[in-house]
Amino acid sequence: MRYRAAVVVLGLVCSASALAAHDFWLVPDAFAVTPGGRLTVRGQTSSLFPTSLSAATPDRIVDARVLTATSAVRVRDVSVLGTSLRLSHLTAERGQRVVGVQLAPRSVRESPASFRRYLDLEGAPEARLRYEREGLMPVAGGDSITRRYAKYAKTVVEVGGGSRAFQRLIGHPLEFVPLSDPSTLRTGDTLRVRMVLLGKPAPVARLHAGSTPNTAVIRRDTTAARRAAAADVSLATDSTGVATVIITRAGLWNIRTLQILPATKGSGADWDVHWATLVFLVAPR
């Protein structure tokens, strides 16, 4: 039942009380690297893909890895570049790579009323209503609660073709797993993607998907990013935790979600909020 109650969705953040509510994306400088070349990825934090309002600092990284079809290597070269977190990794053999980063959780102490506003602002009123019906929602005017949130991001990069890695699980508490190869997608295709929450498929859960042109300017042009976000779509997973994304145009694509769950008793929090994103490139036909 928790998985059915867990809800999504990042819209544009419109309240100063939700300043911490920004997605975290991994956006490669290049989605194709020659074997032996350097793979460079930027960690972008904002509510407008693929721009970045501020940089997550390296000390917040719990785990940063590059996966091939058969191996996993930790990323050691991490720094801050302007408003972006920067990860750099020297490749060796050919083969598709999945890059994943998990940021450490942070906690917010707030009133029950503030928590309700948070759910509504983040596009999760269904979660609030369901938890109210189940008697789990904190009582208005009651004691303050602790909301703990963590963020996880993935992207896919090609290194000279070769073996595929897109279906590999990183093991984040919440992650998207493509069921078909994102590198082969073209306009008019569909991508089936499974949402995995705490090691299990997340059925009937919401997510957002959208795209922007693949230009250097779009990574810092918030006006262009806002125009692109107007075409974003809201989707839901089926009973097996799979959602279908229709690829409407070429460019940079992102899939994103947030899931809200009651925290485990004694864990130091009352509610856990998990944020997850997946970024990939769709080439023109």
The residue type found at 115 is: F
Mean per-residue pLDDT for 46-65?
96
Which pLDDT belongs to residue 9? 32
- Mind listing the pLDDT tens digit for each residue in 236-245? 999 999 999 9
pLDDT surpassing 60 at residue 7: no
Give me the residue label for tokens 């918030």: 222
pLDDT surpassing 80 at residue 104: yes
Question: Which is more confidently placed, 116 or 103?
Answer: 103
Instruction: Say if residues 239 and 4 touch (Cβ distance below 8 Å).
Output: no
What distance lies between CA 191 and its chain's CA centroid? 16
pLDDT surpassing 50 at residue 18: no
Instruction: Say if residues 157 and 254 touch (Cβ distance below 8 Å).
Output: no
Helix, strand, or coil (residue 110):
strand
Helix, strand, or coil (residue 248):
coil
Question: Which is more confidently placed, 33 or 11?
Answer: 33
pTM: 0.89
DSSP label at residue 182: G
pLDDT surpassing 90 at residue 268: yes
Separation of alpha carbons 127 and 8, rounded Å:
9
pLDDT surpassing 90 at residue 125: no
Which pLDDT belongs to residue 12? 28
pLDDT surpassing 50 at residue 8: no
For the CA atoms of 43, 48, 53, 55, the dihedral, rounded to the nearest 10 degrees, stands at -10
Separation of alpha carbons 274 and 197, rounded Å:
9
Which pLDDT belongs to residue 123? 65
Separation of alpha carbons 101 and 24, rounded Å:
9
Separation of alpha carbons 155 and 96, rounded Å:
11
Nearest to 105 by CA among 54, 76, 146: 146
Instruction: Say if residues 36 and 156 touch (Cβ distance below 8 Å).
Output: no
Which pLDDT belongs to residue 185? 97
- Mind listing the pLDDT tens digit for each residue in 144-168? 999 999 999 999 999 998 999 999 9
Helix, strand, or coil (residue 98):
strand
The residue type found at 99 is: V
Instruction: Say if residues 57 and 78 touch (Cβ distance below 8 Å).
Output: no
Give me the residue label for tokens 């705490």: 198
% of the chain beyond a pLDDT of 70: 92
Instruction: Say if residues 26 and 154 touch (Cβ distance below 8 Å).
Output: yes
Which pLDDT belongs to residue 128? 80
Which pLDDT belongs to residue 133? 86
Which pLDDT belongs to residue 202? 96
Instruction: Say if residues 45 and 33 touch (Cβ distance below 8 Å).
Output: no
Which pLDDT belongs to residue 70? 96
Separation of alpha carbons 43 and 22, rounded Å:
12
Exposure string (b/e) for 167-184, b if CB count within 10 Å is 16 or more?
Answer: ebebebbbbbbbeeebbe
Average pLDDT, the chain: 89
pLDDT surpassing 50 at residue 65: yes
- Mind listing the pLDDT tens digit for each residue in 193-216? 999 999 999 999 989 999 999 988
Which pLDDT belongs to residue 6? 39
Question: Which is more confidently placed, 3 or 62?
Answer: 62
Q: What is the CA angle 253-256-257, rounded to 5?
A: 165
Helix, strand, or coil (residue 18):
helix
pLDDT surpassing 90 at residue 11: no
Mean per-residue pLDDT for 108-133?
83
pLDDT surpassing 50 at residue 110: yes
